[in-house]
Amino acid sequence: MNSSTIYLADDDPDDRFLIKEAINEIYKQITFIEAANGLELLSSIESLTDPSQALILLDMNMPMMNGLEAITAIRKNPRFSSVQAIMVSTSSDPSLAERALQAGINSFFTKPDTFEGFVNLAKNLKTI
């Protein structure tokens, strides 16, 4: 993984904690910028200066602005067109993943329900 900053958007603080802990098991020099919904994510990425050094990891289902709405808004801004974006969801529905890919994410993963699953998700970030 080439990113040094991960913008992590998930309305569940426990999931944000597990994701951060799992990623820190694999990568040591990561800065996390957290958001509880898509609106907070949009606000936080405004400070992003080098899209090649960032990764957006967002949940599908969030209040105020969900993941699909957030990635659609992000991709409309030319400054963020090259930022890698990964979406996670508790749903493994293929049509949902397809909608997310059409909206502009780079990868879609079903959200794990164990810490080991989150570590495996973090390992998959190596290819992104």
Per-residue pLDDT of the chain (128 residues; tens, 9 = 90+): 567 899 999 999 999 999 999 999 988 889 999 999 999 999 999 888 887 789 999 999 999 999 999 999 999 999 888 899 999 998 888 888 899 999 999 999 999 989 999 898 888 877 56
pLDDT of residue 128: 61
Strand, helix or coil for residue 53 = helix
Give the domain extent around 20: 5-127
Please choose, from the candidates 51, 9, 7, the residue with its C-alpha nearest in 3D space to the C-alpha of residue 32. 7
Number of domains in the chain: 1
Closest by CA to 87, choosing from 64, 119, 62, is 62
State the pairing for strand pair 107-110/5-9: unpaired
Residue 70 has which token pair? 């957030």
Which residues 6+ apart lie within 8 Å of 93 measured at CB?
A: none
**Which CATH number characterizes residue 68's domain?**
3.40.50.2300
